[in-house]
């Protein structure tokens, strides 16, 4: 009997370094370390720690899931560069997943996911409607239209305020961010052929970074 696929998911799009290891439909181990900087130095050692704690190695991985933002430019770049390097070195697919989709994963019906964009703004996206929506950068007072009678579940930053404004209900995520990324990557590992790319919603986020790309594998 073949072992169930092993997927690692990780994210550094905010002030954290977060990762989870999924086998089949079960999270074996996960960790989230709050940090304002230092993700480039910490990410790969954190992934190695997770693999070691599950008594598996890099070559046991079937796919890699990575958070592509929206969020901090440098953090998103670190995660995406690491995922691309690992995928190339290991010969496995790397699947990019937005943090907004990860927040909404596993929750039925119409969902409104939101992430703190700083300066009083939000990254926001609606899921589960007939035509879906694209992620947007908005203010709490200029939320995009939600379909009438949708009664969405609102997840993430300022969820209660958003729910009040769109006749919805606040809800908690089903999974942690890295666990959701790993779950979605497992579902898509045979259906994507494109490399993960950062999701930037602020024009200034596309400015070049001075950070050195992380070292991937020995």
Q: The domain that contains 88 carries what CATH number?
A: 3.30.420.40
Is 216 a domain residue? no
Rounded to 5°, the CA angle 82-85-87 comes to: 105
Same domain, 137 and 154: yes
* Residue 213 lies inside a defined structural domain of this protein: no
- Residue holding tokens 């045979």? 190
For the domain that residue 116 is a member of, what is the CATH number? 3.30.420
Indicate if the pLDDT at residue 211 is higher than 50.
no
Domain count, the chain: 2
Residue 1 lies inside a defined structural domain of this protein: no
Asked whether the predicted pLDDT for residue 52 surpasses 50, the reply is: yes
DSSP letter for 190, please: T
CB 70 within 8 A of CB 99: yes
Residue pLDDT, tens place only, 116-158? 999 899 999 999 886 668 999 999 998 988 776 778 999 999 9
d(CA 79, CA 214): 9
Are residues 79 and 22 part of one domain?
yes
What is the pTM for the complete model shown? 0.91
If asked whether residues 89 and 33 sit together in one domain, one would say yes
- How many whole angstroms separate alpha carbon 58 and alpha carbon 46? 13
Decide: 35 and 217 in contact? Cβ < 8 Å: no
Which residue segment(s) compose the domain that 157 sits in? Answer: 107-171
CA distance 78 to 89: 16
The reported pLDDT for the residue numbered 144 is 87
């Amino acid at each position: 009997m073949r072992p169930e696929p092993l997927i690692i998911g990780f994210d550094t799009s905010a002030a954290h370094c977060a990762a989870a290891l999924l086998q089949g439909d079960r999270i074996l181990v996960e960790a989230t370390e709050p940090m304002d900087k230092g993700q480039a130095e910490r990410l790969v050692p954190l992934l190695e720690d997770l693999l070691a704690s599950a008594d598996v190695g890099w070559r046991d991985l079937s796919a890699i899931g990575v958070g592509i933002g929206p969020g901090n430019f440098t953090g998103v770049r670190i995660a995406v560069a690491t995922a691309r390097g690992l995928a190339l070195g290991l010969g496995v697919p790397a699947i990019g997943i937005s943090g907004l989709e990860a927040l909404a994963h596993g929750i039925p019906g119409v969902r409104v996911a939101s992430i703190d964009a700083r300066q009083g703004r939000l990254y926001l996206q609606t899921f589960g409607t007939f035509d879906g929506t694209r992620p947007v950068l908005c203010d709490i007072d200029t939320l995009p239209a939600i379909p009438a009678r949708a009664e969405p579940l609102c997840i993430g930053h300022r969820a209660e305020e958003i729910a009040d404004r769109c006749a919805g209900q606040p809800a908690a995520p089903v999974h942690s961010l890295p666990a959701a990324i790993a779950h979605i990557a497992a579902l898509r590992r045979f259906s994507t052929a494109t490399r993960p790319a950062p999701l930037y919603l602020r024009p200034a986020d596309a400015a070049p970074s001075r950070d050195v790309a992380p070292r991937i594998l020995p």
